[in-house]
Amino acid sequence: MKFLKKRALLLFWIILFTDIVLGLLKLDNWRWFTKPVLIPLLLIFLITNKSKPGNPFLSKLIFSGLMAACIGDILLMFSTTGYFIAGMAAFVMMQLIYACIYYYLQKKRFRINKRGLTGVAFMLLLSYFLFKYLETSPLFTPFAIPVAVYIGAISLMACLAANLSEAEKISDSGAIYIYYGAIFFVISDGSIAVEKFLFPGLTGLSIFVMLTYGIAQYLIVKGFYKFQMIKFSLVLFFLFICMYPAISQNYPTADGDATLRTKKLYSNLFRVMQKGVLFGHQDDITYGTGWMLEPGRSDVKSVTNDYPALFGFDLGHIEAYSPYNLDSVPFNRMAELIRFGYERGAVITLSWHCNNPYNGKTAWDVSSGTVTSILPGGPKNELFKQWIHTVAVFIRNLKSNNGEPIPVLFRPFHELTGGWFWWGKGYCSPEEFKALWRFTVDQLKNVEQVHNILYVYNAADFNDQREFEERYPGDKLVDIVSFDAYQSADVMDPRKSFIRNNKMRLSILTDFASHHNKLPAFSETGSENLPDKEWFTKTLHEVIKDYRVSYVLVWRNGGLKTPGKGGRQFQPNHSFYTPPADHPAANDFRQFHSMPDMIFLDKLAGERIYY
């Protein structure tokens, strides 16, 4: 106790800073050890430093006020709405108790004075404008009443604090601390509302909230006790204001004008990467083994009772103005399925098996000269611009239920280090590839004005960093760096060589990503038809478990053998990459699904990655 008597406040500051640094590093899980101890430390300071017996009624009030704050702190750490409301209720209690304390302290000679009146006018004005501002956010509507109640409680507390500070004229009395504490509380809670409803997840803002909250509680408790360190708090506060532009810088997107949801998605993917790897599946809800376009159906769901966290789709043939993609998926249905995924909080990724613009043949046609023919000045440049336009129209028109553009991870010119597509290594120089990338991003961003895209740079094979980055177009044109690699059945020991090669690639990838401040992903993989019934837990998981990588996506389950609807022949591809329900690998896939570091949709939905 003696130790704490002297050091409770010092510990409070240390833990407050640790909490802020953890927030900055997005290590939110660790904050369970810091945030809940802040208020108890202030309480310990008060209890251990009590010189005289004091007023027991007041002591009880102070104790209950701080307890309410502590409960509120804990409740607000959960991300769901129910906890948020409960946390607010705890803070309403705390504000009302603080208000009672300030009233009680002036009870005998309570008169409304000038500072009290100014407080009322100020709080009325502030509440009015804040409320109007918050109302511009669609997220705010369900919270309007609880927020109004909270504003009422904090205003009462702040006005009584202002009144008390004038009543107790002497500037170094506890009242002045309470007054400044109330001001910091108003700043902190105003900011929390702006953060929650208008800029959810903005790191700089949430840190600002925590710092001002810490200072407010500290000053109030100091006021309860009386202390000289007010200047220290003010210095801290101004220091923070100066540092704010630096720390509020989130991960910049290649498209500086990307929509708020797109920017949120990007920074949230970095945050969620600390918790685990998102599992993705190509064409998961589009078709699967033996079925096509059945609402809600998914081969992954049939086995795990959960959807993947990431849904992949392919735009191939959109450039040919075909109503169907190269796998016979109608583009209008694809847009609906993308909305289905987005509304459930899943990530959407699009690849583009784009035909050869030089001769109209497929993406696999590697006629030489294709890339140079579509670059500015080339004979097919105009045609390629039109092709990009078809992609732009599709992506721009992907809208959520409330009409917002749906962010997508776009992965054009994929497997660029491979030799099987017309844009591949061997069919253009690194400089030509970079020019192609620059041209495409520029068209989408600046000419077509599509702002719901994160750009994915995607290699296939590479054996060292030089090979991986040889064609990298630059940090300003890329958001996500990735590679594709499949387990081949034709090698000596397929499992061993897959693990060895891809650990090597992941280590190059994650190193590159962290140096360039990009998000790393294993964007395509799989073991065709899963001959190894423990492939997911013993091979794939073995590869990714030691690396921080945002997501891993396995390829499509092609499989309908009969003609598809509308008289179109669905092109069957009998291979699959997630097991059908009766396959020997199904059990292992269920185990993979329940691994703590694997994230499927149920887990991801709670992360609110677009907010």
The footprint of ligand BMA (CB under 6 A) covers 314, 316, 326-327, 353, 556, 573
Judged by beta carbon, residue 188 or residue 356, the one nearer ligand BMA is 356
Nearest distance, CB of residue 305 and ligand BMA, angstroms: 26
User: Which residue shows structure tokens 């065709």?
Assistant: 528
Distance CA 540, CA 526 (A): 8
How much of the chain is helix, strand and coil, in % rounded to 5? Answer: 55, 10, 35
Judged by beta carbon, residue 326 or residue 460, the one nearer ligand BMA is 326
Judged by beta carbon, residue 116 or residue 288, the one nearer ligand BMA is 288
Judged by beta carbon, residue 367 or residue 571, the one nearer ligand BMA is 571
Judged by beta carbon, residue 142 or residue 419, the one nearer ligand BMA is 419
Nearest distance, CB of residue 335 and ligand BMA, angstroms: 17
Nearest distance, CB of residue 193 and ligand BMA, angstroms: 45
Judged by beta carbon, residue 62 or residue 391, the one nearer ligand BMA is 391
Judged by beta carbon, residue 189 or residue 314, the one nearer ligand BMA is 314
Nearest distance, CB of residue 523 and ligand BMA, angstroms: 12
SS3 of residue 119 by DSSP: helix
Nearest distance, CB of residue 293 and ligand BMA, angstroms: 15
Nearest distance, CB of residue 458 and ligand BMA, angstroms: 13
The 10 Å CB-count burial string (b at 16+, else e) for 383-415 is ebbebbebbbebbbebeeeeebbbbbbbbbbbb
Nearest distance, CB of residue 325 and ligand BMA, angstroms: 8
CA distances from 23 to 233, 267, 549 (A): 20, 13, 20
- DSSP code for 557: -
Amino acid residing at 99: A
Angle, nearest 10°, between helix axes 230-247 and 203-225?
Answer: 180
In DSSP notation, 126-159 reads HHHHHHHHHTTSTTTGGGHHHHHHHHHHHHHHHH
Judged by beta carbon, residue 150 or residue 498, the one nearer ligand BMA is 498
Distance CA 15, CA 34 (A): 6
Which residue has the CB atom at the shortest distance from ligand BMA? 314
Distance CA 118, CA 517 (A): 48
Nearest distance, CB of residue 583 and ligand BMA, angstroms: 19
Distance CA 514, CA 549 (A): 11
